[in-house]
Chains A and B, each alone.
Chain A
Amino acid sequence: MDLENQKRVLNISEEFGAENVVVLLGAAEAEAAGLAAETVTNGDPTWAGPLAGVQLGLTVYHICEDEIKSEVDAGVYDEQVGMMEMVMDVPAIHEEMENIRSQYCKYL
């Protein structure tokens, strides 16, 4: 996750309280999604950004996970994500996200 985004996540968490923040990811691959999820939960694994060593433990999902998909209007979802869903390996992403959440999320 780039440094600017890390800074924004940190600021938002401080402003609204980490328990009130959900991070929604859109990365196209499980590995990339997992890295981003890890960053906002356990801290920046590359130790480069503002979240290095900061364990926010935020709730984090990928847009294509059923938990989120079911919350979105089906037409809007189809228009915005439908195409990418075909391209993405949704089960792999879900598995990776579950893995991160089970380890580091503090507010589930």
Chain B
Amino acid sequence: MNGYPVVKGAAYTLAATPSMVIYNGTTQTTERVVNPSSEYLVELPKHLRSYEDVISYIPNQVYIGNAHYDDLANTEFPYYDKKWEGAKEDGKFGCIMPEDEFYGVMHICDVFELVMLENSFAEQVKEKLAKREMFTEEQLESILKNNADQAELERLVNEEHSEGLYIDQTHLVGVVKRAHDVDVNLSAHVMLENLVSKASNVISLIELKKKNNFDPASVEYVIDCCEEACGDMNQRGGGNFAKAAAEIAGYPNATGSDVRGFCAGPAHAMLHAAALVKAGTFKNVVVTAGGCTAKLGMNGKDHVKKGLPILEDCIAGFSVLVSADDGVHPQIRTDIVGRHTISTGSAPQKVIGSLVGDPLKAAGLKITEIDKYAPELQNPDITKPAGAGDVPEANYKMIAALAVMNKDLDRSEIANFVKKHGMTGWAPTQGHIPSGVPYLGPLMDDCMSGKVHKAMIIGKGSLFLGRMTNLFDGVSFVVQANDGTVGGKSAAKKEVKVCKTANYYGTKIAFASEGSEHGQDNIDLAVELAAKKGIEAIVSEGETAHKEMEAALNDGTAQAAVTMHYPFPIGVSTVGKVITPARGKAMYIANTTGTSDTDRVSALVKNAIAGIIAAKADGVEHPTVGIANIDGARACEKALKKLKENGFDITFAESARADGGVEMRGNDLLLGTADVMVMDSLTGNLMMKMFSSYTTGGQYEAMGYGYGPGIGEGYDKLIMIVSRASGAPVIAGAMEYAANLVANDWKKIADETYAAAHAAGLDDILKASAPAKAAEAEAEEEDVPMPAKEVVTAAIPGIEVMDIDNAVKALWKAGIYAEGGMGCTGPIVQISEANKDKAVEILTKAGFIG
């Protein structure tokens, strides 16, 4: 219903590595083993592209965001002989980097002194990389360490099983050494593959930071989804490329893990990230992957045979930031997810059905309602000459055919469907890289410009390549444009018109909306309800909600604030306002969340004063005060009566029950007998929730005005509390309550009332409970002998339940036999009729009764 995670940023990067095509691509390394003198190996170097040609290649410009996928679609096929006008190595989503600098990045990424560069080459690379402003000074300096001269590099390659790093095809400029002399998983070959994956991952993670506006320290989790495995011989796929790359790329607060699923890995990882964010486990998760040396020149034989350049000459990387809903960026529909299951089978119809047809059908969507599909986005310039056809187009045709079978589309419309809902593939064929995710960057633009409302990302993987299963795999998910009403900032929401003729027009209230259990719709409705009363709510959300709220209060933008939680200092009572059911009368509950004092009785007394202030400021001229019949009520009554005796203006309520009194029973709560109902904060909180939600069954607080303002001596901010369970009417009610307090100058009333309470001896009265306590403690310690037992028929009420035993002992001390007990209105001390008057006198003197 709301709060779907968003795709907040995306980065796509390429490293042009033509020499690695020769030395590290498996097509070439296999050929050197099987057929070392093959014509292909002789011809290959002539087909390697220059760095300039890599940059101006249109699919590469689309990948890093300088050209649009539509530009590619409008380019006449093939693409390898065309150049993009104004091609640059830096793009909206990322960059292209040449081979020499990439080796420098590998050196920075190596923390085990495995990468060594030729001394002067290292100097040059350091200078070049410094200009990119990607790495820290310390990281750049590290390039100059652990290097060697040319002769030593050659020795390492020839004698120590090191893998060479070359530029210009044959010029040795560095090595990757083996990390162990026996362990094949730490061999130079594996270390090179893994360091290349890490380095390309790091480049993407850094570009993600540079090209998108977010704090890298806010990223809590990073998921790597490449197709490599790192670990030694005891844990071959031990893993965590994610954390290793994030460390170098500067994400200090992240941990992470690796998700694998062959080419479907990125789509799986996106689901993991989206679920982590949707669950609230993390707010910011990055999905990321580096590229793969093995796949360099994979289709090289076909390309060379057909006279094409080697088009698979780049190590790719990508990173995507998945964040909590911000109301702006496109949302990942975690509830529209396709799965190729174990029982799906391998028939294309079944595969497409499971990934496209089934999830859409379950969501009540037609196949034609998805504006863009992003299946495998392989560049056809690479795949077609190799006999693999146009991969995305084949997928679009299958999706169209499924739509025909589902009767969502007329058969004659297949070609149009492919054009309208498809894209020309632009991704390098680096396995996991083309797997739907290259579209996430352009999709942000498409969604935010209104071009696309819904898109589907589809990842597919050939699990059988691992020889563990014959199964195929795939997952898919829908991404939709954010309409801004589902968890976003007020700026992106529809305009709320504040009623200018309503009573409270002109009141501005800062509203930290984060945390509602009823979703964004509830928040929006609350804002609308308040607007009808003339109140303008300034909504803030997310991690900075409270900061923004306080800033608005401090600079006067808002006169009051409403929030779902707030750390009030000790000394502050919150005075809630509810509608009581018997007569529909309003009642103030003092206190509902705050801690006015650590001493229970003092807290109750202070709650009463805060309650009087809130009621008066809300327009009740002479509020009546009742004390809920709870622990400490009698002592509180005594203190309040003393205050009144001393001239403090307080009107006591009288219980509606036959025996009356200031102590209020449950009946009085329902009746709203007192305007201000005094109680401790836990009881008050309980009452608030019951009074607010008893009509709805409990989960939705539909009635009343919320948990009230924090009121305390010297506390000058008007902050109203609602709960996460508060419904829109309660939130709007809290705003109205606040508007009233503002209109009646609550601060002045508070200052005057506290001054009057002090003038009436509040401090002494509160202190007075302390000596009484000391006396009680003393009495407790004394071993007082019990006088002769007699029949007790008279009762003295009004003693605290905790004090009953002490009161009894105090009477015993005076030679009066007494028993403690429970009367119908509370605790009592029982004595003989004959001793009653004397006992009352003793207990009054000792401070047990007022």
Taking Cβ atoms with an 8 Å cutoff, the residues of A that contact B are 28-29, 31-32, 35, 79-84, 86-87
Contacts and interface: CB of A to CB of B under 8 A. Distances in A.
Contacts of B411: 86
Nearest to B357: A83
A27 B402 CA distance: 18
A28 B405 CA distance: 18
13 contacts: A79-B347, A80-B347, A80-B349, A83-B348, A83-B352, A83-B398, A83-B401, A83-B405, A84-B349, A84-B401, A87-B348, A87-B397, A87-B398
A23 to B, nearest CB: 17
B389 A84 contact: no
A83 B349 contact: yes
B404 interface: yes
B364 interface: no
Contacts of A82: 349, 405
A84 B404 contact: no
Interface residues of B, number: 17
Given A83-B352, A87-B348, A87-B394, 11 more contacts: A28-B394, A32-B389, A79-B347, A81-B347, A82-B405, A83-B348, A83-B398, A83-B401, A83-B402, A86-B400, A87-B401
Contacts of B414: 86
A35 B302 CA distance: 15
Nearest to A46: B301
B666 interface: no
B556 interface: no
Nearest to B393: A87
A86 B352 CA distance: 14
B323 to A, nearest CB: 37
Given A83-B349, A86-B411, A87-B394, A31 B387 contact: yes
Contacts of B347: 79-81, 84
Contacts of A35: 387
Interface hub of A31, A35, A82 (most chain B Cβ within 10 A): A82
A10 to B, nearest CB: 20
B387 A79 contact: no
Interface hub of A28, A35, A86 (most chain B Cβ within 10 A): A86
A28 B383 CA distance: 15
A81 B398 CA distance: 11
A6 B402 CA distance: 32
Interface in B386-423: 387, 389, 394, 397-398, 400-402, 404-405, 411, 414
Nearest to B349: A83
Contacts of A81: 347, 349
Contacts of B394: 28, 87
Interface string B350-387: 10100000000000000000000000000000000001
B387 A86 contact: no
Nearest to B404: A86
A31 B394 CA distance: 14
Nearest to B405: A83
A79 B387 CA distance: 28
Contacts of B349: 79-84
Contacts of A80: 347, 349-350
A56 B351 CA distance: 33
Contacts of B404: 83, 86
Contacts of A32: 387, 389
A38 to B, nearest CB: 13
Interface hub of A32, A79, A84 (most chain B Cβ within 10 A): A84
A28 B414 CA distance: 17
Contacts of B387: 31-32, 35
A74 to B, nearest CB: 14
A75 B352 CA distance: 18
A87 B418 CA distance: 11
Contacts of A83: 348-349, 352, 398, 401-402, 404-405
A84 B405 contact: no
A75 to B, nearest CB: 13
Nearest to B398: A87
Nearest to B389: A29
A86 B389 CA distance: 17
Q: Which 8 A-B pairs have the closest CB atoms?
A: A86-B401, A83-B349, A87-B397, A83-B401, A80-B347, A84-B348, A87-B401, A87-B398
A88 to B, nearest CB: 9
A25 to B, nearest CB: 14
A50 B441 CA distance: 45
A79 to B, nearest CB: 7
B80 to A, nearest CB: 20
A84 B399 CA distance: 10
Contact of A28 (B352, B389, B400): B389
A83 B350 CA distance: 9
